[in-house]
Structure 1
Amino acid sequence: MTLTMKPTFKPIISALLASLITACAFNSNAPAAHTEVALSKQEANFFKRLESMCGETLVGTTVYPDDPSHDFAGKKLIATISECSDRIIRIPFTVGDDKSRTWIIKATGQGLLFKHDHRYPNGKPHAVTNYGGYAGSYKNAHGTETKQFFIADEHTADMIPEAKSNVWMLELKPETNELIYYLERHQKPRYKAVLTLQN
């Protein structure tokens, strides 16, 4: 049996819906409008692999540059995959005693997005934060389900002009239970860390 709405109620319901939509549009606390996720198969599989590791902790060290004066030199690195959903994964990244950093991997309508969120202990963002970019091909190499390249976006270039050529790589190595974080600038190595999954 098919139910039909009486015509007399349609204008009332339409008006109520219009009012609700208008109210939400002007409410700063209203959730953002739903957008479809548009990931390649490789991006989606990479995201799923990370999501499957939710709750896991990886520990490691800086392997490049081998420079004792580098800010990260000799410091213990900890990445905890602590918050996961079908759209976003948050990975607090601790450098020694510094807990200001969080990696954010996000499934968006423009592809897979990787960002660096820097905040003070009170939650206030640093002046330099939210930099990163979307997954893409780099040096004729395409992303895979275990490795993705993230090209610096316009926001990053505007905020940190010297980083406009940055390309970050995240690689999962199931055979060794490792996560590699690697950065190039001007197509030259700038930083690399290797972290190992803890039992």
Structure 2
Amino acid sequence: MHILPRSLVLSLLILPMAQADSVHQPQEDFWQALSALCGQAFAGRLASYDESLDQGWLDQQLVMHVRKCSADEIHIPLHVGEDRSRTWVLRRDAQGIELKHDHRLESGAEDEMTWYGGRTSDAGRAWRQVFPVDDYSRVLFVTAGLEGSLTNIWYMDIRPGEHFAYGLTRVGRHLRVQFELDQSVEPPPPAWGHE
């Protein structure tokens, strides 16, 4: 009978736990980089867009405000000119990070097209997390006649001190909004429904 050294047995038990932690490390690093921006606002620009689909965003001031942060939730309102209807809501748990789009009317009531988004399917990178469309969103898109959105993939990039970017991709579509992080701007008023 062979007896394994105690240190080898312990390392064999600890290794799977360490590997599990390292799988989520890129998400932890991403979360910490985004959380470090809490309370700050940044001006942005359309880096990639479709002139006809994104017409309402052209020539508008774009401002993101990392407004609310906790250990498991971050709210980032996106202001497009005077339109304060959009908030990106990020939530994290043991399975990964979820991105939802909270759309509100000026009255503060929820828009019919709200809470769509997706969840990370892997650890991603410390500088990029990707959110493939989820089942709730697919049902919402079919109901609204937006079958083209059934393959949506959203992403967020963060390069501390350089830029933050939000993007949407699908066949024939790429929207990217990029915000420069080297200079903050005055935080805008709260998003509609979050006063």
Q: Could you say which TM-score interval applies, normalised by the shorter chain?
A: 0.7 to 0.9
Deviation at 1:94, TM superposition (A): 0.3
**Distance in 2 between the 1:185 and 1:80 partners?**
26
Corresponding residue to 2:126 among 138, 145, 155? 145
Q: Partner residue of 1:169?
A: 155
Deviation at 1:97, TM superposition (A): 0.8
- The one-letter code of the counterpart of 2:24 is S
**SS of residue paired to 1:71:** helix
Higher CA-based Rg: 1
**What per-residue deviation string (whole Å, max 9, x for no partner) do you get for residues 7-66 of structure 1?**
xxxxxxxxxxxxxxxxxxxxxxxxxxxxxxxx8221122111111110111111112225
Q: Which is bigger in relative contact order (C-alpha 8 A, separation at least 6)?
A: 2
Deviation at 1:174, TM superposition (A): 2.4
**Distance in 2 between the 1:50 and 1:93 partners?**
15
- The number of aligned residues is 155
- The one-letter code of the counterpart of 1:158 is V
Q: Would you say the 8 A contact 1:133–1:152 is kept in 2?
A: yes
Q: Partner residue of 2:31?
A: 47
Corresponding residue to 2:91 among 100, 106, 114? 106
Alignment of 1:126 with 2:72, yes or no, is no
Q: Would you say the 8 A contact 1:62–1:74 is kept in 2?
A: no
Note the 1:22-101 alignment, pairs <5 A: 40-65=24-49, 67=51, 70-101=55-86
Q: Partner residue of 1:193?
A: 177
| More helix by percentage | 2
TM-score, normalising length: structure 1: 0.72
Which ranges of structure 2 fall in alignment gaps of 5 or more residues?
1-22, 185-195
**Distance in 1 between the 2:69 and 2:160 partners?**
19
Identity over the aligned pairs, expressed in percent? Answer: 28
